[in-house]
Amino acid sequence: MTKQGARKSPEPSALSPREIDVARLIQGDIPLTQRPFQRIAETAGLTEGEILSLAGGLRQRGIIRKFAAIVRHQKVGYTHNVMVLWAVPPAHAKAAGKAFSSFEEVTHCYERTPPFAGRYNLFTMVHFRNEADEVLLREMAAAAGISDFRVLRSVEEFKKNSMEYF
């Protein structure tokens, strides 16, 4: 039995062999090129448009719910991470989020509802090349006009893997 409103996972038989082939190719790392789906298409013997159409169809049918990048920040020189919790007036959340997102060190910025501890509603993941840079955090606070924030430092990073279904 599923929760009301929850989607059931599709049966494997609901996928065509071509859809399974495409799902297999896009479930792992995507090539880091200007046209990654063209490269995938070459591997599959399809066109880039066919790959995008098949993937889009899987998304539209709810078979693929999310397609996202995993940032491997260490590979580009970022060695320290902090999650910053910001107490932002709700009417100012969108503008503050844009201000925070303008910093290249920010890889995640999202609003949390309900707010953590009753007041921290905007979260940013910030990556530093050196030990956590308090100067940068003050610049971010000033850019967004926010002075109430908490810094949570990463102590350990867990392994990040793409899901594999096939």
Q: Do residues 123 and 84 touch, judged by C-beta distance below 8 A?
A: yes
Look at residue 47 in the predicted model and tell me its pLDDT: 95
Hey, what CATH topology would domain 73-153 get? Answer: Alpha-Beta Plaits (3.30.70)
Q: Do residues 19 and 30 touch, judged by C-beta distance below 8 A?
A: no
Global pTM reads: 0.58
6 vs 108, higher pLDDT: 108
Q: Is the pLDDT of residue 155 over 80?
A: no
Domain segments of the chain: what residues? Answer: 12-60, 73-153
Name the average pLDDT for the chain: 84
Q: Is the pLDDT of residue 139 over 80?
A: yes
Give the DSSP letter string of 3-61.
Answer: -TTPPPPPPGGGS-HHHHHHHHHHSSPPP-SS-HHHHHHHHHTS-HHHHHHHHHHHHHT
Helix (H, G, I), strand (E, B) or coil at 62: coil
User: Which residues share a beta bridge with 83?
Assistant: 125, 152
Q: Is the pLDDT of residue 102 over 80?
A: yes
119 vs 163, higher pLDDT: 119
